[in-house]
Structure 1
């Protein structure tokens, strides 16, 4: 006696899926097994779907995370790119007809006929997977695939790992949800809008590569609007398995070519390639001869900006710390990495290069002294930040912790803008002392008595109280007595500075410094002129 087959959970769910799918497609189970009814199922779906709803689904097919770009002052030089997903969104009119046809032939040849769910495709996948026990097949329409990608993207943006799991889990429940959302989408958006959304959201390779425009430039160095039949078929083949079919990986190229030729054959079957010679020439073309690979920009953001990285880091900190770009730092970070912004800055390419060269010529990167040099190039009269120089290699990775020649700290800016806690200003403060002296109505040519020992109480004012004594001398030892403030500045004599402070007190010097824009680095008021000229999405 043959052994009775038991209904496993998987088989029960599969049957439930079949039943639900049949309800969506027309509601009459018997009709599915009759060829004429199968051909009319998509038409019946259009009559049934208005009663089907999934709450909380409202996404714009044209709104996707895009990379932002940081430009130098010439408006052409890209300093860095920032992205959560490496994508440049383009309208459908800027995507070639062969590319549109290739993805339809590969993913959903009845795309323009069904109402979001391809009944015949689902039945074929069901029979192949559960009846014939063959390879698992999804039968998802192009609309369903778009839904899956959007749900994954939204979950990722919300930092919702559970949402990401449910958007990609291999379950009947996920398939049913996709079906319901897909038919809703087809009521709200046109076929061309959905096709545009899919071509911009799909993953077309490794290295975080999304969207057809980015893929076209990565593999062939052309725009999506210029993709030919062979190039389009190559890109369309990737989505099934980006890791295995990415043609930029040499080990993948044999299989990538085979998959490309499958797409070309599907395009011929659908009538997208009408000329037999065109088809034969395409499949005979070696894939490696068609590639013109461009850098995949694996170093995202300032880490990949080379000697422009210190300026890049300064600008990004300005954005992340400014409420003008978002109410919270998370919102500002999202804007930078997903907002598709073009940010035009004040950085002068030549000035930045000159500052870096000056710093490294003064003390080489690997100098045994370990001294660090930091330079800020500022345009006189406007305060525009033109660049930064450092005798260090910019590095925001963990390697900088063990390599003394690498750092992400820019000592020319405040701590919150990428700098450190500051350092002793030394003799660079003496011009501020002279400015305070003149602001107090004193003459720079008045001879002053100087000494090598002062009572700290002599410098006190309402905000600063001193006790004890201060021993001070000049670099050559001793003092010069008498000496004018102007002579003391030219000769950089410390004893003369002490004599000036004794007369005008520390509060006058602090007030002068504040008026000139000085502030403590950890307290973080920033430089007065922003390094961003303009920013637009």
Structure 2
């Protein structure tokens, strides 16, 4: 009986143990099911939740007039988006080999990698190994800060899983290589890195170059070839070894790439990796401050900004400025250039200084420089519209003290170098030689208020005061204003509002803005043409820009301007109006050698910019006539006048009396020809004008 009792008790205990085990297994199974259900519910929840504001930020892009990409914006930095299909496979493989071997296997979090990193860190009693996947790095760069906190790590993990749910692996890799990688020197994304380090597009990188670039993001200063070449090469070779170990390349390929000599470009300034940087900044300012585009949307909203810039002309402008300000004793000499198409008001080129990397101040749009004699164009255009004032109107150029303000004040201008003809000169000679006495005589006769009115109509918005000195350009203006104003003259008196943005589209193609430039006739065509014809003499023998006449192979008109601190040439062809300024930022006196640089920049740029366009004559309006005059008297020339020249007049203002000082009666047909024919070009111009 005792034995039987002990057996029954043992069997009872075994039964209870089995029941407890079954309950425990059932509990674990239930927990497992609950865990799976929670994971499924969590996944479904994450799948339906939107990512934070700013999700998938896209760089806004800037295009020139032909649709060629100028720059990309994001956070104020220059980027260029490149589709994954246009990237070399070596670059993707190198990135995977060193950053995330299991990228195509995990779901945003690499649990195996996390466990391995945790074990290593415990063994070393510190954090020596991380386990962030490419997806986590992308999530951190898109939505989070770099703070090392548990809350940030939790959010990073959550956003990484969401990214994996909403994007394909290739899309994530594409975004990572374009948006989440920084290479130092203001270069974001693999395209900027390729241009920065090797001066080529990312598609053209070799295996060795891909491995070098893939190693930099780990530490843009520590692994950059610009900051530590030894570290950069060591990491590049590690990546090549890993690529071979993981089967992306053969050992022989790895060794050949390790032996390849890398041609790292010298560290260059910011301007070297940004096209048209001053124009880019100006467009951004116009879009945000004038057109009301939100700043963040402009930088990161994926909008497309279509501009008026012609990159071919822009390169010509930058080349022309650089050529004149390179070498010699140029020191801190600065320059600015703005070119405008007078037919539509489009800004085609803009250079705001000699080196954007050193100084981002845009002198092309700053109204801080005196235009000097270039302002005389507005004085003479005003005068030509007054009764009795024509191309043969004359004043005596001699030292003169002018009184104004009812005789209470005196203004005593002087000619350049203190040189005076001490004789009567006409308007053509005054323009060609930039005579200051003639200009002040003119503004005193027509009134400074009227000159300001003309300047305003042409587009000058800077502060101007009705003083005699206004004739000599003593009030600062911007090159952009001057180019636009001269463009109105080139466009036969019709001003079209200066424009840099033609339209702006959202990332989805919605039209946000479309330019509708104001067009207005501000001067009658005959007066604009008359002044244009007179300003051509600036480039002819004896003119202040005659030294560059041989460079320009087409009809051109313009006006030079020189002050103690500034040198200008503002001129135009029928297709292009250009303002060039040269000087110093600190109002330092310019030397005569410095003052001669504006004209060569203008001439060189004009020819380069219009190289593919045949030369065109300025169209003569119907209300203009051309006659031969005697410069000494301003009367109609006879066949005995020794220096007869062709001159243009608004019909009804041409002289009617013949010169009688050279002993001959007027010709029987009423026309007089000059005694000598000039060059074939002069003959062509005379034929055209007649």
Superposition TM-score tier, normalisation by shorter sequence? 0.5 to 0.7
CA distance in 2: counterparts of 1:433 and 1:206, whole angstroms: 52
Selected match of 1:203 from 181, 184, 200: 181
Residue by residue, what CA displacement relative to the aligned partner does 1:475-507 show, whole Å, maximum 9, x if unpaired?
Answer: 579997988777876786666656655554333
Q: Answer yes or no: is 1:174 the counterpart of 2:158.
A: no
Answer whether contact 1:108 1:141 (CA < 8 A) is retained.
yes
TM-score (norm 1): 0.61
**Counterpart-to-counterpart distance in 2, 1:535 and 1:49:** 39
| Map of 2:238 onto structure 1 | 259
Equivalent of 1:147 in 116, 139, 151: 139
| Higher alpha-carbon Rg | 2
Q: Would you say the 8 A contact 1:359–1:389 is kept in 2?
A: no
1:334 corresponds to which of 286, 292, 299: 299
Corresponding position of 2:516:
none
1:82-97 maps to which residues of 2 (within 5 A)?
84-85=76-77, 87-97=79-89
CA distance in 1, matches of 2:159, 2:333: 62
Structure number with higher relative contact order (C-alpha < 8 Å, ≥ 6 residues apart) = 1
Match of 1:470 among 405, 410, 423: 410
Alpha-carbon displacement from aligned partner over 1:336-384 (angstroms, at most 9, x marks no partner): 9x978786624364566556667899xx7459xx998877667777777
Contact 2:338 2:351 in 1 (8 A): yes
Q: Helix, strand or coil: the match of 2:51?
A: coil
Task: Give aligned pairs, total.
Answer: 442
Give a deviation string over 1:179-224, Cα, whole Å, max 9, x none.
1222222222222222222232343644344333444555666655
Which residue is equivalent to 1:436? 382
RMSD, matched Cα: 5.3
Q: Does 1:510 align with 2:452?
A: yes
Q: Match for 1:124 among 97, 116, 135?
A: 116
More strand as a share of residues:
2
Instruction: Report the equivalent of 2:285.
Output: 320
- 1:163 aligned partner: none
Cα separation, partners in 2 of 1:171 and 1:478, compared to 1, 3 Å: closer
**Alignment partner of 2:246: what SS?**
helix
Deviation at 1:471, TM superposition (A): 5.4
- The reply on whether 1:299 has 2:245 as its aligned counterpart is no
1:279 to 250, 254, 261: 250
1:520 aligns to what? Answer: 462
1:133 and 2:125 equivalent?
yes
- Stretches of structure 1 that go unaligned for 5 or more consecutive residues are 1-27, 32-36, 153-166, 399-406, 458-465
Matching residue of 2:44:
50
Partner of 2:6: none
Q: 2:229 aligns with which of 241, 250, 274?
A: 250
Q: Which is worse superposed, 117-126 or 281-290?
A: 281-290
Change (3 A) 1:207 1:340: farther
Mapped partners of 1:373, 1:51: distance in 2: 59
CA distance in 2, matches of 1:234, 1:246: 9
Query: How far apart, CA to CA, are the structure 2 residues paired with 1:449 and 1:97?
Result: 78
Distance verdict in 2 for CA 1:129–1:441, change over 3 Å: same
8 Å CA contact 1:221–1:292 kept in 2: the answer is no
Distance 1:386 1:430 in 2: 25
What SS does the corresponding residue of 1:470 show, helix, strand or coil? strand
Bigger Cα displacement from structure 2, 173-182 vs 97-106: 97-106
Structure 2: any 5+ residue segments left out of the alignment?
A: 1-25, 464-475, 485-496, 508-690
Query: Any idea what the Cα deviations from partners look like across 1:386-428, whole Å, max 9, x if unmatched?
Result: 76899x9546748xxxxxxxx9574xx5xxx1x35232635x5
- Structure 2 partner of 1:3: none
Specify the alignment match of 1:189 in structure 2: 167
